[in-house]
Amino acid sequence: MNKSFKIGIAVAAAAGSLTSVALIGVGGANGTGPHWEYQGEEGPNHWGELDASYQACADGSAQTPINITKFEKKNLKNLVFNYNHNGVGTVVNNGHTVQLNADAGQSVTIGNTTYPFLQIHFHTPSEHEINGKHYPLEVHFVHKTDGGEIAVVGIFVTEGRKHNHAWDGFVSALEASDSTPVNVDWDEMFPENKQTLRYSGSLTTPPCTEGVAWNIFTTPVELDREQINEFINTYNGNMRPVQPINGRKVFLDSTPNS
């Protein structure tokens, strides 16, 4: 049965709060394709015109991000993370966001598919909306199989009172030079409650490739105001507007998970 959920209260009735995801470094955002921007004549409304390889940005029927207003509960296998607690990320500032490339040997298993972990990056404000509302920050954990299947795990970030030390590595990367190694405990960056909202979407940057498995934590992570401002002051407005849902279903996994 479909249920709508409200921002803040979020999935409190169903299981918590809310989080999101997106994708850079797998497509044009890593500088391998024609130039694009988030505003003006090379902004999202024109991405599909910039190059034939970006056509899905204009003509795709399963694009991301979306405004999530309803979901269906479904008994789905929990996401299984194989992440390093003593990891090292490598800084890449690609002109659209700052990302940390992950050290090798890490993965997430979703259903029967294991996706190697590639990188994380951020968007301010969040790209996904919940009942038309944004979070101040959204972070995407990007995964890709050797066969090209992509899965993104998304986290919404909200303001809390306490400094979140698990995110110190990513915050320090914002002003670091490219190729700088950063110590990071990847697993500790996640919320304690790992329930997810799931749907089939796309990359949120050119070439806007579809068939991406989106997994959005229902519980946001809390950072203090100073930490959030570090992201906002680095790149603000690096988000794609929400796209038509076109009849797609969003599923809330109802399998107990923590």
The pLDDT value recorded for residue 81 is: 96
On the question of a cis peptide bond just before residue 207, with omega within 30 degrees of 0, the verdict is: yes
Total-model pTM: 0.89
**DSSP letters spanning 124-189:** SS-SSEETTB--SEEEEEEEE-TT--EEEEEEEEEE-SS--GGGHHHHHHTTSPTT-EEEE-GGGG
Confidence of residue 257 (pLDDT cuts 50, 70, 90): low
Q: Is the pLDDT of residue 83 over 50?
A: yes
Condensed to tens digits (0 to 9), the pLDDT of residues 55-68 reads 999 999 999 999 99
Q: Partners of 212 in the beta sheet? A: 201
Q: Domain segments of the chain: what residues?
A: 47-253
The pLDDT value recorded for residue 21 is: 37
| Homologous superfamily in CATH for domain 47-253 | Alpha carbonic anhydrase (3.10.200.10)
8 C-beta neighbours (distance < 10 Å), count: 13
In the residue annotation, 123 being an active-site residue is answered as: no
60, amino acid identity = G
Condensed to tens digits (0 to 9), the pLDDT of residues 217-256 reads 999 999 999 999 999 999 999 999 999 999 999 999 987 6
Task: Please state the rounded mean pLDDT for residues 136-162.
Answer: 98
The pLDDT value recorded for residue 190 is: 96
CA distance 96 to 206: 12
Sign, Cα dihedral of 78, 80, 86, 87:
negative
Q: Annotated catalytic residue: which of 96, 121, 128, 134?
A: 96
191, amino acid identity = P
Condensed to tens digits (0 to 9), the pLDDT of residues 19-75 reads 333 344 443 344 568 999 999 999 999 999 999 999 999 999 999 999 999 999 999
Average pLDDT, the chain: 90
